[in-house]
Structure 1
């Protein structure tokens, strides 16, 4: 059955009407292509991560240790990982949390928490994820920060309201089936940068359902945010994303815990009692 054409807008000419339909179709195809690229890059990044972790494990073991069976190399483990990935149900990923770096707690992370609670008067502060930035997270063509659901430190129900969760998991009213990921609505969020300055544009949080997992993604102005914080956000950088509330508005804070000794702007804003960006944050929460 063919797709029903949307109605023509009031005063819209026939040429404009068909041009709008063509543009909409083109945008949908581009979005699908971008999702496919992300899936391919994510799988490749997982392969590299497993290989790196296995090499580190091998080096840490004593050379005198005899293996009961033949030695496993990186491709053995990666192939097993990929085969298992195909067997697992949707919503479950193969990334092992034990392989990830423990959550960092230092003066940067504690300073951000203090700043949000005491100076911004934020509430409901929760750590969402700690992850390494990949090239795909910084790609202007993809314009998104990927946060796999299985790597979240906080359950979605603990940082999202019921209304926000409904927006992120829209279902077709007639069929009750999941809406295509490119047509799902998102939740607007304000974001605090790693220099403790509130970004002056809103971002959008969405859920993308992938074949083997579910990802939370930050889109809409993400790459503009990256460009304004290029000295922090580079490939391989460890980041933490925290969720909090300002006047009931969902906001996020992006923290770079490894920038402990070279973040002058962070130190200045942390100890600035009259930080003007708090007002910016408050106004953003009223959007």
Structure 2
């Protein structure tokens, strides 16, 4: 029992050991605080400099949207396309008739503020419908070609349309504009939002021309081929 007793001589040494232990604990705690403070300061500095940590980069990659590759749907061939072929070939004496694009007519294609029909290159069925000179024009400061347009009722529109090319951030779009909204307004019974349309190109006396037809209505039915005038009535033979 005497061995376990603390003598007067041992007391100063014990107090020294306690003080040393407390000091070591305080030092360890301070080092941890300093380490956390440095990490916070580095994070603030990196943000101010516009830098990202490895973790934030990984998070950004996960959140970044990857554009989906456009999948071409089967080309619709029906009575509408057959009638268009006959009209262009026989009535207009057109040549080089070819499908440029089959696409959904979106809401943005019907807005007066937009006043254009977008033809995304990524969705096109044929990208070689322009001559070398026409391509040069669209790639320089002129950037527009006057074209003739045939509507879904197989009538030549009475106002000239313009074809131009817009270079977007991730894609290139051809655009029919200038009188597009007026054209669409006159044919909106045929060219309804979400309908499937086709844009065809052809030549008439070497001039570039286009035809826009509806091949499938939003409900999936075949597109409207012909629209009666307001004064027309059904005639029973």
TM-score greater than 0.5 by the shorter chain: yes
Distance across 2 between alignment mates of 1:120 and 1:209 = 33
- The runs of at least 4 aligned residues of structure 1 exceeding 6 Å deviation read none
Q: How does 1:140-219 map to 2 (within 5 A)?
A: 140-155=112-127, 158-170=128-140, 184-219=142-177
RMSD between aligned residues: 2.1
Distance across 2 between alignment mates of 1:246 and 1:81 = 50
TM-score (norm 1): 0.54
Are residues 163 and 96 of structure 1, via their aligned partners in 2, closer, same or farther at CA, if it must alter by over 3 Å? same
Greater fraction helix: 1
Matched, 1:83 2:65: yes
Are residues 252 and 81 of structure 1, via their aligned partners in 2, closer, same or farther at CA, if it must alter by over 3 Å? farther
Match of 1:41 in 2: none
Distance across 1 between alignment mates of 2:170 and 2:125 = 19
TM-score (norm 2): 0.64
SS of equivalent to 1:208: strand
Distance across 1 between alignment mates of 2:113 and 2:69 = 25
Match of 1:96 in 2: 70
Deviation at 1:184, TM superposition (A): 4.6
SS of equivalent to 1:195: coil
Match of 1:231 in 2: 189
Summarize deviations over 1:105-131 as a string: whole Å, max 9, x none.
011111101111122110011100000
Larger radius of gyration: 2
Distance across 2 between alignment mates of 1:81 and 1:123 = 49
Matched, 1:253 2:225: no
Are residues 202 and 82 of structure 1, via their aligned partners in 2, closer, same or farther at CA, if it must alter by over 3 Å? farther
Greater fraction strand: 2
Match of 1:134 in 2: 106
Q: How many residues align?
A: 164
Match of 2:179 in 1: 221
